[in-house]
Amino acid sequence: MSNANDRLAARAAREIRPGMVVNLGIGLPTRVVNHLPGDFPVCLHAENGLTGIGPTLPPDRADRNLIDAGGAYVSTIPGSAFFDSATSFAMVRSGRLDLTMLGAFEVAANGDLANWKIPGKFSPGVGGGIELAQKARRVVVLTTHTDRAGNPKLTECCTLPLTARGCVRRIFTDLAVIDVKPDGFHLIETAQGVSVAEIKEATGAPLIVSETPLPSF
Amino acid sequence: MSNANDRLAARAAREIRPGMVVNLGIGLPTRVVNHLPGDFPVCLHAENGLTGIGPTLPPDRADRNLIDAGGAYVSTIPGSAFFDSATSFAMVRSGRLDLTMLGAFEVAANGDLANWKIPGKFSPGVGGGIELAQKARRVVVLTTHTDRAGNPKLTECCTLPLTARGCVRRIFTDLAVIDVKPDGFHLIETAQGVSVAEIKEATGAPLIVSETPLPSF
Amino acid sequence: MRLTDKQCSIEDAIARIQDGATVMLGGFGVPGTPFALIRALVRHGARDLTVIKNDANEPDMGVDHLLRSGQVARLITTHLGLNGHAIDLMNKGRIKVEFNAQGILAERIRAGGAGIGGFLSDIGIGTELAEGKRMIEFGGKTHVIEPALRADVALLHAARADSFGNLAYAATARNFNPLMAMAADCVIVEAEAVLSLGALDANDIHTPGVFVDHVTELAALSEEYAVVQR
Amino acid sequence: MRLTDKQCSIEDAIARIQDGATVMLGGFGVPGTPFALIRALVRHGARDLTVIKNDANEPDMGVDHLLRSGQVARLITTHLGLNGHAIDLMNKGRIKVEFNAQGILAERIRAGGAGIGGFLSDIGIGTELAEGKRMIEFGGKTHVIEPALRADVALLHAARADSFGNLAYAATARNFNPLMAMAADCVIVEAEAVLSLGALDANDIHTPGVFVDHVTELAALSEEYAVVQR
């Protein structure tokens, strides 16, 4: 499983183009950074007020005032900048964020995303997720293909409270890479050793598969 | 005339209480600073982005990047701060300006102020005046009592486009100090050598004068 | 001209806070949270408070002390994920919680500080976050109207201050602090160091002292600021 | 990770500006005005421009060059008092001028930069400044709705930049520059010095480079920046 998640993070890392400004959500997305070359030209944004996130640091080398939005002690790189929370979300809402990678409870075939609340079970608040999902120029999701009980997370419609409507463009899972297009989910890559039939079985909505062989990751 | 204006500026300077944050408008109000003791505790605000205005400087000692809102080369004092134009007016609109001193074309007996436009003759734009007049905690006016043609500037109603309604609390002129109260203009001080009759004659609205002798300045 | 000295003791500053007050607290997680001022507010005991803070810190830390002492009636926040105790109080109905999208909370506070009544935003439209909010068509688009937020008191943490209350924050400890500094009738700052006037470069001040009412130098840094393995 | 280099020539940057574009220009009076970029825009020749600037500089300086070359159709501003030529063009109907209260112009630009649609304000109510504006009752008060302002291009002047476009302004040359940096699709900066990454302290950056598209180092400071007796 951890291997599969590493592979998915490595695949998702190829989504990041040189020069992009990128926000990586808490959880799986955070791991993507480990799969970028050390000198890759990218500006990572932390919504608590930092552009140019550097590597995470162990406590003995950490700066007590320097965390990312997930609370991890991080570092700066040459050219990093600090700013307040209003400026941070001004960047997000005014379109300066090229890409965000988010986790998901559910993604619907129309691109709807639910990732912040499970009524009666989990309601910590939406944090910055809603603005990232609604305003980043490109939103991709990193998630396991099914939940712990084996139920599909890619579905016809979201049943949970939405984070944002129609925002997801691409989904990276442990089984597949799937694009969200006007006509629904398109399978574009498969994980090594996973069959298209297995992916269809684990997906809660129709999956459009081209005739031509798909690459795997 | 210049003597009278100096006296009026000196009198107006006594309006400034220790610890106030004050914005001095262009023209007569700017002169007030010359009548404050050098170590007087006051924070002068320039709406182009400076708190803690220091003395004006001659060109040979000026900093090309350091001007007040009237374009004069000024200096800083210990504790001065620079900020952007939105922050500058955030101070004004959120009530952090204790006092502003403004010039006037007309002040009405209800406190209305007109000081930015003479249709067909003078229309350079309102600049920051409207927010200063509307939002400073206390607005006082420094002006000659009459215009160059001898017409009163203190009137029943303003005929020129308004800067703000009902904003003026006190008026300092070359002839008098006049308070604006719910029932109109109240004469509270006279300039040395100026009679109450002269002041009434030069004022375009009823002037309420108490029975007790008035101080002069 | 010279600038006034706004230094006072933590106790004198906090004594101004009344029952029923709305109190903004700086900080995002630990950095920028005014832990010493919060402890003083617990000692002071003002009740029925509305607290505005990005998060509720962690159990037995910062905001959580105010929750445990029963002083908080209402919490306006964005995320309580690190404080299960706060979520528990919310679920039991012991405190009212209003969740805002994080950037919208920041912007509402800034709007209060800018002296405007509110702003138009499309954030949350089509989700339950927008439910119950007034909508308006403007410029060919649908917006929700987000009201400005102001507070009676803001409690802030700065790395460096001067005696007039000019402030500089360190790294990501800045977060909500400069916004709240603009948006409260009484702004109280704990600073790791209070320097003499002129010690801060006028170009590098994050919060101009005009916004600040009281500043106090911390005798020692709160234990919460120690770096720990989380 | 490393940050990209956004340096380019003034001509390459300005070449992106098209006829009919909306162009924001930093500066309040002389300080912060991008004189070299304005000269390049005159050489470039794009016409029918909407220019947004606090003021119109002085005759034969800055904005006035664009007015004389006939490139400006519309000017959104707060005060033209130092440029009689601009007032003359306005009075003759050769340019359209929209006057804003100064802080409202600043706030409208910031709103554009913050990705919000507009804001509610009571400034100007009861005066001709509010005439024709849409009003709304909200929170028990009457407000005008002030629409956000964005531009196709912002031309800015900074004292120091780094190659990623992080910016620091000097003294009162800051003014509208950091607001406009947030509010344009393409942000072009002339800097008195472009430094290597890391030369600006991350705490002291006034405009984060994320907002900036192109930065160019001035070979020499424009003559307008000489201190003169005014």
Measure the CA–CA gap between B175 and B216, rounded to whole angstroms.
10
Residue of B nearest to C149 (CA): B94
CATH class of D10-218: alpha beta
Q: Tally Cβ neighbours within 10 Å of residue D138.
A: 17
Cα–Cα–Cα angle for B59, B60, B62, nearest 5°? 55
Judging contacts by C-beta atoms under 8 Å, the chain A residues touching residue D181 are none
How is chain B split into domains, by residue range?
A: 2-209
In the prediction, which pLDDT does B3 show? 85
In the prediction, which pLDDT does D229 show? 67
Residues above pLDDT 90, as percent of chain B:
92
Q: Give the residue from D143, D227, D228, D230 with the most B CB atoms within 10 Å of its CB, the best one to mutate.
A: D227
In the prediction, which pLDDT does D230 show? 61
Active-site positions of A read 47
- Would the pLDDT of C182 be above 70? yes
Nearest to B47 by CA among D78, D73, C1: D78
Which of D102, D121, D124 faces B85 most closely, judged by CB atoms?
A: D102
Q: Which chain A residues in 160-199 lie under 8 Å from chain C, judged by CB atoms?
A: 161-165
B32 is written with which tokens? 């007030």
Which of B84, B123, B128 faces D174 most closely, judged by CB atoms?
A: B84
Compute the nearest-CA separation of C1 from chain A (Å).
31
Are the beta carbons of B76 and C115 separated by less than 8 Å? no
How many residues are present in chain B?
Answer: 217
How is chain D split into domains, by residue range?
A: 10-218
Which of B66, B92, B164 faces D171 most closely, judged by CB atoms?
A: B66
Which of A59, A86, A165 faces C126 most closely, judged by CB atoms?
A: A165
Residue of C nearest to B21 (CA): C210
Active-site positions of B read 47
Is B57 at the interface with chain D, CB within 8 A? no
Compute the nearest-CA separation of A204 from chain D (Å).
35
Nearest 10 degrees: CA dihedral of B2, B3, B7, B12? 10
Which of C102, C225, C230 faces A71 most closely, judged by CB atoms?
A: C230
Residue of C nearest to D103 (CA): C114
Residues above pLDDT 70, as percent of chain B:
100
A10 is written with which tokens? 């490595």
pLDDT digit string (tens) for B92-136?
999 999 999 999 999 999 999 999 999 988 889 999 999 999 999
Residues C50-70 have a mean pLDDT of: 97
Which of C171, C178, C226 faces A63 most closely, judged by CB atoms?
A: C171
Say how many CA atoms lie within 13 Å of D157 toward its Cβ: 29
Residue D76, CA distances (Å) to A162, B11, B127, B144 in order: 40, 39, 12, 33
Residue of D nearest to B116 (CA): D79
Neighbours, chain A (3 or more CB pairs < 8 A): C, D
Give yes or no for a contact between D146 and D121, defined as CB atoms under 8 angstroms apart.
yes
At position C2, the amino acid (one-letter code) is: R
Neighbouring-strand partners of residue C160? C168, C193
Neighbours, chain C (3 or more CB pairs < 8 A): A, B, D
- Would the pLDDT of B1 be above 60? no
Judging contacts by C-beta atoms under 8 Å, the chain D residues touching residue B77 are none
- Per-residue pLDDT for chain A (217 aa), expressed as one digit of tens each? 478 889 999 999 999 999 999 999 988 899 999 999 989 999 999 999 999 999 999 999 999 999 999 999 999 999 999 999 999 999 999 999 999 999 999 999 999 999 999 998 988 999 999 999 999 999 999 999 999 999 999 999 999 999 999 999 999 999 999 999 999 999 999 999 999 999 999 999 999 999 899 999 9
Which of D114, D202, D209 faces A82 most closely, judged by CB atoms?
A: D202
Is A65 at the interface with chain D, CB within 8 A? no
pLDDT tier, D54 (very low <50, low <70, confident <90, very high otherwise): very high
Residues D191-214 have a mean pLDDT of: 98
How many residues are present in chain C?
Answer: 230
Neighbours, chain D (3 or more CB pairs < 8 A): A, B, C
Which of C107, C169, C170 faces D116 most closely, judged by CB atoms?
A: C107
Residue of D nearest to B67 (CA): D172
DSSP B46: E
Measure the CA–CA gap between A93 and C124, rounded to whole angstroms.
12
Fold of A2-209: Glutaconate Coenzyme A-transferase (3.40.1080)
Are the beta carbons of D118 and C107 separated by less than 8 Å? no
What are the backbone dihedrals phi and psi of residue D117, each rounded to the nearest 5 degrees, phi first? -80, -20
In the prediction, which pLDDT does A3 show? 85
Q: Is C131 exposed, middle or buried (0-12, 13-18, 19+ CB in 10 A)?
A: exposed
Are the beta carbons of D138 and C117 separated by less than 8 Å? yes
Question: The whole model's pTM is what?
Answer: 0.98
Give yes or no for a contact between A79 and A113, defined as CB atoms under 8 angstroms apart.
no
Are the beta carbons of D117 and C117 separated by less than 8 Å? no
Judging contacts by C-beta atoms under 8 Å, the chain B residues touching residue C166 are 79, 81
Least confident of A158-162, C157-161, D8-12, D223-227: D223-227
Q: Give the residue from C175, C179, C207, C229 with the most A CB atoms within 10 Å of its CB, the best one to mutate.
A: C175
Residue of B nearest to C162 (CA): B79
Nearest to D178 by CA among D27, D23, D22: D27
Is this prediction's ipTM beyond 0.90?
A: yes
Are the beta carbons of B82 and C202 separated by less than 8 Å? yes
pLDDT tier, B4 (very low <50, low <70, confident <90, very high otherwise): confident
Compute the nearest-CA separation of C99 from chain A (Å).
6
Are the beta carbons of A127 and C102 separated by less than 8 Å? yes
Q: Which chain B residues in 72-111 lie under 8 Å from chain D, judged by CB atoms?
A: 72-73, 82-86, 88-90, 92-93
Q: Which residues contact B62 (CB under 8 A, 6 or more apart)?
A: B73, D227
Compute the nearest-CA separation of B134 from chain D (Å).
7
Compute the nearest-CA separation of B38 from chain C (Å).
5
CA C130 to chain centre: 23
In the prediction, which pLDDT does A1 show? 47
Are the beta carbons of C117 and D116 separated by less than 8 Å? no
Residues B197-204 have a mean pLDDT of: 98
Give yes or no for a contact between B133 and B100, defined as CB atoms under 8 angstroms apart.
yes
Residues C85-101 have a mean pLDDT of: 97
Residues above pLDDT 70, as percent of chain A:
100
Q: Give the residue from D52, D127, D229 with the most B CB atoms within 10 Å of its CB, the best one to mutate.
A: D127
**Do chains D and A meet with 3 or more Cβ pairs nearer than 8 Å?**
yes
Is C204 at the interface with chain D, CB within 8 A? yes
Are the beta carbons of D198 and A43 separated by less than 8 Å? no
Compute the nearest-CA separation of C105 from chain B (Å).
17
Are the beta carbons of D143 and C117 separated by less than 8 Å? yes
Which of A44, A82, A91 faces D1 most closely, judged by CB atoms?
A: A44
Neighbouring-strand partners of residue C217? C191
Are the beta carbons of C203 and D119 separated by less than 8 Å? no
CB pairs under 8 A between A and D: 89
In the prediction, which pLDDT does C230 show? 61
Judging contacts by C-beta atoms under 8 Å, the chain D residues touching residue A40 are 1-2
Q: Give the residue from B94, B100, B130 with the most C CB atoms within 10 Å of its CB, the best one to mutate.
A: B94
Are the beta carbons of D122 and C117 separated by less than 8 Å? yes
